[in-house]
Structure 1
Amino acid sequence: MDLDLSCHLSIITGETDRAGLAPILGGLREMGYRRAVLAPMDEGATDAAALRAVFVEAGIAPITMCGQGPGADVSSSDAAERAAGAATLRASVDFAVRVGADQINGVPYGLFGRPVHPLAPAAFERSAREVGVVADYAADHGVQLTFEVLNRYEEAAINTAAQAMEYVSASGSDNLGIHLDTFHMAIEEADMNEAIRHALPHLRYLELGQSGRGLLSTGSLDIPGVVAAALDDGYGGRIGVEAFSRPLLARGVADMLSIWRSPFQDGLEVAADAVRVIRKGWAESGPGRRARRLSRAGA
């Protein structure tokens, strides 16, 4: 199974020190993961060189995160606030380069949190233009900037693949990538597979998350079916895995994401289970069947 798999480290740990990360990254690499997503962090207070070294030693690549905050929001009508938001994103690109990441995930388009009103079209346009410029800056530094499409309870700006495609068009950038997540699509999309097909021209990250935020093998979503359909439709990009359990998250993060339960205790088992689920989807896909036929023919 030759797939570019990525595991969100929040499944397993919130640690970023060498002693804590090294065995985790090594275990993920042995499972078949090529990348691991770091949780949002204080980039200015992080030893990027040390963090880069532990990833290099483990033979796995990092993906970093980005976001906006009060007073630094690219969707704002205030020019100074937009400039501060763009500066924050450029700083995240610079951090990604220092830590050895070639991709940034996250919510670069505005403030994360439960919305109280729809996003105005003018704010959508302002945000897209600013993020498009940063996406080009990132590409010049060898980094793919993506933005995650979230459900209506977490974000008002972009909830569907169709809106994501509109946002890329409004950005004016050929370098901005879309990040779709099955957990969010299950809430917002009438047809998840059609949503993936619609976003394919700019889809750079397909994340797999179950309905209950737990193991991919337990829940209401047909994750193998999603994987098989995406591969059959020509998706060849990175596939991520995400799950959350309250005891494994910092309390503030768990509260922000509304993670009140503990669907699992062992994050590494979740990562291993995800590989098995993805492998099942791959085996059911056209590319998987062809690979198995070629393997048998060469045996």
Structure 2
Amino acid sequence: MKSCITISLVEEARGGPFVLWDGLEASVNYAAELGYDAVEIFAPGVEAIDADSLGKLLDKTGLKLAALGTGAGWVKHKLQLADADAGRREQARSFVRSIIDCAGAFGAAAIIGSMQGPSGHTGDAETARGYLAEALEDGGAHAAQYKVPLIYEPLNRYETKQCCTVADGVALLESLSTDNVRLLCDLFHMNIEETDIAQALLSGGKWVGHIHFVDSNRRPVGLGHMNYTPIIAALREIGYDGYLCAEAFPYPDPHEAARQTKRAFDYWTQS
């Protein structure tokens, strides 16, 4: 398993659960200084990322781009994939495809979380789930050209009425014609929704494609009450060799949150 940390460039999300906020260059350099393997970036849109500059920065530091988030599609642009309006749904899909293209150039995946439709999505649940499935079909097929999957994240009940558990997510992915979508299992959401986090990961098996490594209170690992022993054991049992990425509040501040997560990553992956 490899270490990863989130960097947010979205001012509208400031104060949210992203660790580093000090601009792309400073954040990537700090992640490299701490020995992280990769970064996960949340940008307002592809126009905020200069691919050439980012490529040089990653080459210089030796870091990888693990993923790009699409969350700004909802937070900044109010686009969601379950919108009742067909035109707005297409705008949302286009935004996702642009993120896939940007990430794919680096061999990285795009993540769909909040863009799946918030708790107040319009339309009935079955229709909204159908719209989400159509978007995942579209995004998964689009991502295939880069030989990377599209990553879909079940969220807790307070953020969506779509999929809230790993089992829900697996059922949705198994219903698709594309085999190029995988689950992001966020330990914070799982702490709310799952009866047994480790068992949920075991059940997720091959569908588990990315992990948000965070504690029960959305603070960095080690600052809540999560029991990681069975979680790490479950990930090892399913052969997970992807990223454990810190999507946590920058508590008590971004630099210490980054240091705390790296200490926790080293402890749990080396023990």
TM class, shorter-chain normalised? 0.7 to 0.9
Q: C-alpha distance in 2, partners of 1:106/1:137?
A: 14
Q: CA RMSD in A?
A: 2.5
**How high is the sequence identity, in percent, across the aligned residues?**
21
Which residue of the partner structure matches residue 43 of structure 1? 46
Count of residue correspondences: 258
Deviation of the 1:26 alpha carbon: 2.2
Give the one of 31, 41, 50 matched to 1:25.
31
Which residue of the partner structure matches residue 15 of structure 2? none
Give the one of 73, 80, 88 matched to 1:81.
88
| Matched letter for residue 255 of structure 2 | L
Give the one of 162, 170, 173 matched to 1:165.
170
Q: Rg larger in 1 or in 2?
A: 1
> What SS does structure 2 have at the residue aligned with 1:105?
strand
Which residue of the partner structure matches residue 54 of structure 1? 57
Deviation of the 1:117 alpha carbon: 8.2
Establish whether residue 204 from structure 1 lines up as the match of residue 209 from structure 2.
yes
Deviation of the 1:134 alpha carbon: 1.3
User: Structure 1 pair 12/283, CA: closer, same or farther in 2 (3 Å)?
Assistant: closer
Deviation of the 1:137 alpha carbon: 1.0
| Matched letter for residue 272 of structure 1 | R
Deviation of the 1:205 alpha carbon: 0.5
| Matched letter for residue 16 of structure 1 | G
Q: C-alpha distance in 1, partners of 2:246/2:166?
A: 19
Give the unaligned 5+ runs of structure 1: 246-262, 285-299
Which residue of the partner structure matches residue 231 of structure 1? 236
| Matched letter for residue 2 of structure 2 | D
Deviation of the 1:37 alpha carbon: 0.8
What aligned pairs does 1:122-137 form with structure 2 within 5 A after superposition?
122-137=127-142
Q: C-alpha distance in 1, partners of 2:121/2:103?
A: 32
Question: TM-score, structure 2 length as denominator?
Answer: 0.84
| Matched letter for residue 264 of structure 1 | P
Kept in 2, the 8 Å contact 1:110–1:127? The answer is yes
Deviation of the 1:212 alpha carbon: 2.3
CA offsets 1:10-38 (integer angstroms, 9 cap, x no match): 554323343x235313214xx2x221111
Structure 1 window deviating more from structure 2 (63-72 vs 51-60): it is 63-72
Q: C-alpha distance in 2, partners of 1:66/1:23?
A: 23
User: Structure 1 pair 84/42, CA: closer, same or farther in 2 (3 Å)?
Assistant: closer
Kept in 1, the 8 Å contact 2:2–2:244? The answer is yes
Which residue of the partner structure matches residue 108 of structure 2? 102
Q: C-alpha distance in 2, partners of 1:272/1:224?
A: 21
| Matched letter for residue 68 of structure 2 | T
User: Structure 1 pair 279/193, CA: closer, same or farther in 2 (3 Å)?
Assistant: same
Q: C-alpha distance in 2, partners of 1:275/1:92?
A: 27
Which residue of the partner structure matches residue 270 of structure 1? 257
Give the unaligned 5+ runs of structure 2: 9-17
Kept in 1, the 8 Å contact 2:81–2:131? The answer is yes
